[in-house]
Amino acid sequence: MNDLSFHEKSTWGTLVALIAIAVLYTLEVLDVSRAGAMHAGTVTGLMIGYTVLLVVVLVVYHLVLALAERPADEDERDRLIGWRAGNIGGLVLGFGVFGVIGHVLIGGMLGDARLLTPPAIANLLLLALFLATVVELSIKLYHYRRGI
């Protein structure tokens, strides 16, 4: 771990926390869906609750990290890696949003109402955001290890 910079450790922690909390959120959403309680209010509560949980976990992680070693300012390599990863993450998010738009439009044309409810669309958009963030963080880690 000593070979990793503060920013690389931060990226690892964020990726692991994000995936772990996404798994918990997905399991709970599936439970709610099976129980037939997939309403906008329920999903809103879950999204807010798990977002707060993610923020708390990340704050605690970064506090511990900052106590273990002095947080370093970003240098030019960190910024370059961030820009490249951010560009690709942005592309993934764009494709995801357009995918959801297509899903809504095509679903609307086909008249399938099950996946066109506000909670379903909100979860699809959240999935797009999750995938984009995971791709961005993974590309960061790739460049930290393999070079840029």
List contacts with another protein (CB under 8 A). Answer: 3-8, 72, 75-78, 144, 146-148
Distance in angstroms (rounded) separating the CA atoms of residues 105 and 108? 5
Name the residue nearer to another protein (CB basis): 56 or 148: 148
What SS3 state is found at 6? helix
Beta strands in 1-146 (DSSP E): none
Beta carbon of residue 77, minimum distance to another protein (angstroms, whole number): 5
Name the residue nearer to another protein (CB basis): 36 or 147: 147
Beta carbon of residue 136, minimum distance to another protein (angstroms, whole number): 19
Beta carbon of residue 62, minimum distance to another protein (angstroms, whole number): 17
Name the residue nearer to another protein (CB basis): 34 or 146: 146
Name the residue nearer to another protein (CB basis): 25 or 144: 144
Give yes or no for a contact between 140 and 21, defined as CB atoms under 8 angstroms apart: no
Residues in the chain: 148
Beta carbon of residue 45, minimum distance to another protein (angstroms, whole number): 41
Give yes or no for a contact between 141 and 10, defined as CB atoms under 8 angstroms apart: no
Q: What do you get for the CA distance between the two ends of the chain, in Å?
A: 20
Distance in angstroms (rounded) separating the CA atoms of residues 15 and 102? 28
Beta carbon of residue 148, minimum distance to another protein (angstroms, whole number): 6
Name the residue nearer to another protein (CB basis): 64 or 148: 148
| Rg of the Cα atoms in the chain | 18
